[in-house]
Structure 1
């Protein structure tokens, strides 16, 4: 993959950085505030070192620190990384490509990827890097938008599948709410694309959850906790 292709997602988020900071720092506005506590129930207790992959402006990192984690946050957007540093000056935040992490093997015992993997340009490469920097027995906790959500739309109170499920498809959506505007961009993948990437990286799925808030008719998020096997992905 070329360098320009690798950084495309980072450029998307850099262009939307100011909008995103305003969007997520308005308490209760974004879905994170509804899902946060239940997601952290999935996350293991603080250990030696935690990586917040795709940390954005740092809200997940800050919540992890409050729960006792020693966090390093990385993101491809320099503006978002600087916002994270300003909000949490004592933290460690780096600008980095998720498919080329600047850490030695086995550096972390926990990686958090909250609503990140559907945005990266190189899903297999990113998950392979997660597996590399996780120590044996370390865990990945991820949230993604549920693969089913971008394959259909609501019509007359029913959710109708009207787009392909299989394959890799680009999505772009502009949302305006209460005078705030945000453009979301990324990739639709089937669930098997995520699980195959984890399998290839030596990550074994422990838990899969589809959280439901209030009267949701379909799952908007999908959560997975996986553990890095003691052997490498291709060892026997």
Structure 2
């Protein structure tokens, strides 16, 4: 379940080209409450030089562009970068890992990473790189899923894992209270804001539910697991489909200078 797991089993985080269009369709705008929270606490606005690291299919980059910011994005997957470029033709979107960003020092006023740093080989190295491309006095903002028991979709994760005979992945440090703040503090930054936002995912029917939950899985796995997903989602059924209430944590910190 590539949108929530700390280490996705459905696709290599550095090879998502095969699911880029599906991701954009099913999950691209999902984290908007977290976007808005980070944009607010970092003061992004007209003329702000901004970089979104791990930008995926570019929805947050497009949001920054609508705010009037000078927006850029980076993602390790060329397919995701292609979708992002088509979404925001005026933005500079480059292929690049969080630990090796293709920009010079102090290039941006605000640097963000949303549901991305948990995929880095070394999160401390990734934060150091985000800090490197941030101007002195600039801000770094990060956000990702909160702990599993705050997420309705955790029920689906558990059911899919059980059906596959796997253990449910334990929450990583970044999902726990204080985890993001500790990471930023360890990177030499002064935390200026942190919080929790509600993030809702909705599926209008069984087809979208199964495609979203099992995005990136092989067809035979989808066929074998679809009934499990639908049954696990039964408590979240509404008159209009399915509705899952989840939570993202966010934190923002200032670079010295």
Higher relative contact order (CA 8 A, sep 6+): 2
Uncovered stretches (5+) of structure 1, i.e. residues with no partner: 1-7, 161-170, 176-184, 231-236
1:9 aligns with 2:36: no
- For normalisation by structure 2, the TM-score amounts to 0.63
- For normalisation by structure 1, the TM-score amounts to 0.68
- The 1-side partners of 2:72 and 2:151 are apart by 37
Contact 1:207 1:226 in 2 (8 A): yes
Contact 1:118 1:145 in 2 (8 A): no
Structure-2 change in CA distance of 1:110 and 1:35 (3 Å): closer
- The 2-side partners of 1:186 and 1:103 are apart by 34
Contact 1:49 1:71 in 2 (8 A): yes
1:226 aligns with 2:240: no
Size of the aligned set, in residue pairs, is: 191
Contact 1:205 1:225 in 2 (8 A): yes
* Secondary structure in structure 2 of the residue aligned to 1:98: coil
1:197 aligns with 2:183: yes
- The 2-side partners of 1:153 and 1:111 are apart by 26
* Secondary structure in structure 2 of the residue aligned to 1:9: coil
Q: How does 1:1-236 map to 2 (within 5 A)?
A: 9-11=13-15, 13-24=16-27, 31-33=30-32, 35-46=34-45, 47-146=47-146, 148-149=147-148, 188-190=172-174, 191=176, 194-212=180-198, 220-230=247-257
- The 2-side partners of 1:78 and 1:103 are apart by 17
Structure-2 change in CA distance of 1:199 and 1:92 (3 Å): same
Q: Considering fraction of residues, name the structure with more strand.
A: 1
RMSD (CA atoms): 3.4
Uncovered stretches (5+) of structure 2, i.e. residues with no partner: 1-11, 162-168, 201-244
* Secondary structure in structure 1 of the residue aligned to 2:121: coil
Deviation (angstroms), 1:69: 0.6
- The 2-side partners of 1:34 and 1:193 are apart by 19
Structure-2 change in CA distance of 1:63 and 1:172 (3 Å): farther
1:20-74 deviations in whole A, cap 9, x for unaligned? 122135xxxx532455544432231334521111111111001101101101110
Structure-2 change in CA distance of 1:174 and 1:69 (3 Å): farther
Deviation (angstroms), 1:224: 0.6
Contact 2:20 2:83 in 1 (8 A): no
